[in-house]
Amino acid sequence: MIPIEFLRQFRIGEYAIFDFVVAFLGIYLLSPLLSKIFLKLRIDIPKKNWLFLTLPIGIIAHLIVGKMTPLTRNFMDIHGHYVLKIIIFGLLFLGLRNITIIKKK
């Protein structure tokens, strides 16, 4: 078995490619189930929107559990990393764009 440290050594800047691949693959595989769960709560979230919401959800989850990854740390830095912040807010906007609330009949 290949150690996870080996897989995480391949990077773009300070971000591990493996982490992004696992996050997007996980959301891609879970999106049908997540959409069905939210549909029961009368919230229609298209499956493609989950892919846009992957990084914003990841940052929120890491903040909740107190794990400061490089992406979370750079996003929370108030003195820089403005391109990252624009990308994350853009992904959040695209992810929330086609969500609809289903009214009772």
The yes-or-no verdict on residue 36 having pLDDT over 80 is: yes
Mean pLDDT of the chain: 94
> Residue 68 and residue 51: Cα distance in Å, rounded?
22
pTM: 0.88
pLDDT single digits (tens) 42-82: 999 999 999 999 999 999 999 999 999 999 999 999 999 99
Neighbouring residues of 7: CB distance < 8 A, sequence distance ≥ 6 = 16, 18
Tokens of 59: 């940052």
Predicted confidence at residue 67, as pLDDT, reads 93
